[in-house]
Homo-oligomer: A and B are copies of this chain.
């Protein structure tokens, strides 16, 4: 909820100044960032949202988690639908690592390292998630940790608590940036961006690859299908949701 308010505040401010940044301190888990930048993009502005997490990712060559999974989301207005990128800088999420542990499934190579910093495919020996994209991904993850921490004044690295373990109040930060292209004299960006994205979608693909996609297209198709056909929920989760619903109705 705080994230949506921050998005609204950034959009309003950018309308007058062209560029606005809102910092959120000590907020709880933001959830998926895609929704915030989509909200900004639907106002005709470009949105960038950054946040951090507890230290789960090791530095390049490192054996210990020192960096959050630090996702970045970028939304750009386009027709018929905005461009929405929402990606973490960890190779996988902590949720995925835990799921592999529960099911005794091997990890892909490059996803995690053991207590000595050696790459491991054993989910039970994994001690830290690897950054995506090797040393460059590490540099980016570290830079995003610094941007969020230094600007919002919130905790850095192993001092971040409460994003997974909610017994502690969460002390991480979030940055919500909104940019109004019109303020920079740019009025035809919607058409130019849409044309360019169409050219990328139509560009020649490797045979058998299924074609070139644009970030956000797949998630949008899955969401549309879920809105039309419903979603599958595990029985235990459904029972828990019913129980919470009844408890809140009784309160």
- Residues of A bordering B, CB below 8 Å: 17-21, 23, 46, 48, 59-64, 66-67, 72, 74, 76-77, 83, 85, 87, 113, 116-118, 132-134, 136-140, 142-143, 145-147, 149-153, 156-158, 179, 181, 184-186, 188-189, 192-193, 196, 199-200, 203-207, 209-215
Whether the Cβ atoms of A61 and B150 lie closer than 8 Å is no
Identify A64's interface contact among B147, B184, B188, B204, CB under 8 A.
Answer: B204
B156 touches A206 (CB 8 A): no
Contact assessment for B153 and A184 in the assembled complex, using a CB-CB cutoff below 8 Å? yes
Question: Which one of B20, B149, B209, B213 contacts A193 once the chains associate, using CB atoms below 8 Å?
Answer: B149
Which residues from chain B contact A138 at a C-beta distance below 8 Å?
215
How many copies of this chain?
A: 2
Q: Which residues of B contact A143 (CB under 8 A)?
A: 74, 76, 83, 85, 215
Give bound CA distance, A235 to B214, whole Å. Answer: 47
Q: Which residues of B contact A136 (CB under 8 A)?
A: 87, 132-133, 137
How far, in whole Å, are A153 and B186 apart by their CA atoms in the complex?
6
- Measured CA separation A206–B76 after assembly (Å): 40
State whether B62 touches A204 (Cβ < 8 A). yes
Q: Which of B77, B83, B205 contacts A117 (CB 8 A)?
A: B205
Cβ–Cβ contact B205 & A63, under 8 A: yes
9 contacts between A and B (CB under 8 A): A59-B200, A59-B203, A59-B213, A62-B205, A87-B140, A133-B133, A136-B137, A139-B215, A152-B184
**Residues in chain B near residue A209, CB distance under 8 A:** 61, 117
Given A153-B185, A200-B66, A213-B142 contact (CB < 8 Å)? no
Q: Which residues of B contact A113 (CB under 8 A)?
A: 206
CB atoms of A186 and B152 under 8 A apart: yes
